[in-house]
Structure 1
């Protein structure tokens, strides 16, 4: 099968994937959705913490039947003339119902620990949301890398196919010159071998194409066997945009990086843990009220609502005056955890700044490399034209043309690699700055 026919066959019915689609799908892949579910779970923790501040209403009701079989008991009674004697008393069997109905209401009036836990759960929710955004950014960057890996392989195959066409043209020229008696048979055979090697290079790339397709589809939660094609994002025909200044990049990162938002909330949650611990030094107040209706006679229980009623209410206070220094120990532990959270956040900020600077330098270096690669490609193209003209004039060999041809192919591949690396470096910097998704951090 012809090499070009093989390439067309492999690309048949391929599903086109645009860069924007890959980015959007990556933010909804398994890892990202799992992080979102964890944030949703944290939201329910807030509701649980808030529930302690709301009235607690409990309804209870019961009905049972008590059966007492025949009984004999003895009563001690006085006898005439002094003394006592036991008098046997036989009681027949009896069965009676017992009915009960009650409603109780309790309302917490003051407990510093409950309010602090509610604030803490809110901070943990915000931290979880920040971590979910951080994971979405991580998933998106990975999807971008996989998209460009596929596009690089596709573009590489196109460059190699263009080289095959140049080799075919060189073989035609060498055959025509041989038939005209201007070059020897060796020139034609050499051109034929070169063409075969170039076709092998194209075929060898097909396995890498399948690998990159599978890596992209599985990351985007698509069927692993589905054939996809990365749509040209147009980067090869555009001049790379300049990198932002390092100061601007650092400023964006400090305000928009989701990881820092999450760490700040983790620190706030640790600080609130100290408030929870110190609440042990304070009293707790609550209001309780209850209504109960109980009786053994169903006729009275259901028919006379003014009877068998009990209502109670009151305010209660509880205060741990001394609990064996437990509150003091918990307060100290919370202080240590707060300090650890501060150190962790400070270290993360330093690492973030280092990552931003590293990504910024990498982007600038890639832009310069792409400019140099473009200049090399132009020079290599001019060199090939010159070599072909010399060969057509009979003053050079296929070897010289082949050398110029390989240098042009290598220059085109180098330009392709550097130009794609520019885009990957740009998205990596955006990831470090927290600007992959518009309006992410607060």
Structure 2
């Protein structure tokens, strides 16, 4: 493991007062982002929906039970004419009451419901994987944004060092000019170079503010929130193409989603085909009723008992609609197989591309490390010679600019390796988050 320290600590001045800032480490940034990031929150809620859908589907495999209770009452004037009586009977305000209770249970077994449960289970797995994809992408984005801020802060320090050298040169040339030891042209040139470096530093402050805003957006906190960044970029030397490819085809979450989608397409077809099979329904009921009447021969009637039955059914013809639905499901399954193959090809190419960037950035880093040592020594020599009057301001300025460019390329090479590393780990499915510990990238 190589560790290239890009240690930065910036103070923020507000109303001419320096405020103490809370330090933000990479691990804390990830935990804060996963706690607040809206994409993560939405993904977790959508995962809950798929879990609920799976539980709803379970209801198709369970019996349904209904209970009803009814009560009636009527008051009527009744006139009854009997065969063996000459005069009719008149009953005013005759009361009639009725009361009944029914309990019905139905259980229908359908094989397509069993297949549907398997399909909903796969959809639930897809929901879990999609939530993990969002978490992986969020961790990767926070990693890139966090280390981009580290890089820009380090670049800011380089510009400050460059500005300090330009200030020293300006002071020297100014003193020489006032004593008549140099021309006004050299004095003005030193002033112009100093102003140029000052302008670059001001522009860099804007870049840093934007980098902070971008990171704060990922963390879902206020855009003007200030954190002290004191961290280092650690890069891994042991990433190998073969193991990355093997792991990617086992753990890449989007690849797993596509595989589940293929399973879902297959189960959808089997679910439709199962509708051709017979269905069996079992039903049972319990009924209890009581009726009372002041008129008629039957004053009270009570009943209670059980009923059971079974129904066997099969679809004989549905206008070829089911056949067409099965054909469509087969086509969709074949299309999903192509989608899976396409993503496997894309994943393989993405890993090769990211690994090429990773390897190239490592080679660049070796070159820039050697070049940085040479440029640093050359700048020191050029500055000493300039103070002694042995070299022109143009030669010193060239050495100064070369030093700034070399240092910038060095830190950008480290950042480039880190970005490629994060992308490789994301593609390999090696970025995950343990709620009981820190984010893990391995």
TM-score (norm 1): 0.85
Aligned-partner Cα distance in 2 for 1:117–1:333: 17
Q: How does 1:414-429 map to 2 (within 5 A)?
A: 414-429=409-424
Aligned-partner Cα distance in 2 for 1:400–1:196: 18
Q: How does 1:134-145 map to 2 (within 5 A)?
A: 134-145=133-144
1:393 to 379, 388, 397: 388
Partner of 2:7: none
1:342 to 330, 337, 345: 337
What CA deviation, in whole Å up to 9, does each residue of 1:326-357 have, x standing for no partner?
33222222211211111111111111111111
Partner of 1:124: 123
Kept after mapping to 2: 8 A contact 1:217/1:228: no
Q: How does 1:338-377 map to 2 (within 5 A)?
A: 338-377=333-372
Aligned-partner Cα distance in 2 for 1:66–1:349: 76
Aligned-partner Cα distance in 2 for 1:76–1:271: 73
Aligned-partner Cα distance in 1 for 2:274–2:97: 48
Kept after mapping to 1: 8 A contact 2:147/2:233: no
Partner of 1:106: 106
What CA deviation, in whole Å up to 9, does each residue of 1:44-96 have, x standing for no partner?
1111111222232222222233344x4668x79799xxxxxx99876534343
Partner of 1:3: none
Q: How far off its partner does 1:24 sit?
A: 3.2
Q: How does 1:193-232 map to 2 (within 5 A)?
A: 193-232=192-231
Instruction: Between 18-27 and 344-353, report the one with greater CA deviation.
Output: 18-27
Partner of 1:166: 165
Kept after mapping to 1: 8 A contact 2:233/2:415: no
Partner of 1:31: 39
Kept after mapping to 1: 8 A contact 2:105/2:285: yes
Find the residue that maps to 1:9 and give its secondary structure.
Answer: strand
Aligned-partner Cα distance in 2 for 1:67–1:140: 76
Partner of 1:64: 72
Alpha carbons of structure 1 residues 218 and 64: separation in structure 2 relative to 1, 3 Å: farther
Q: How does 1:276-295 map to 2 (within 5 A)?
A: 276-295=271-290
Q: How far off its partner does 1:142 sit?
A: 1.6
Find the residue that maps to 1:330 and give its secondary structure.
Answer: helix
TM-score (norm 2): 0.85
1:260 to 255, 258, 261: 255
Alpha carbons of structure 1 residues 26 and 96: separation in structure 2 relative to 1, 3 Å: same
Find the residue that maps to 2:391 and give its secondary structure.
Answer: coil
Q: How far off its partner does 1:420 sit?
A: 0.8
Q: How large is the Cα RMSD of the aligned pairs?
A: 2.9
Q: Which residues of structure 2 form unaligned runs of 5+?
A: 1-9, 294-300, 435-439
1:16 to 23, 41, 54: 23
Aligned-partner Cα distance in 1 for 2:252–2:34: 16
Find the residue that maps to 1:281 and give its secondary structure.
Answer: coil
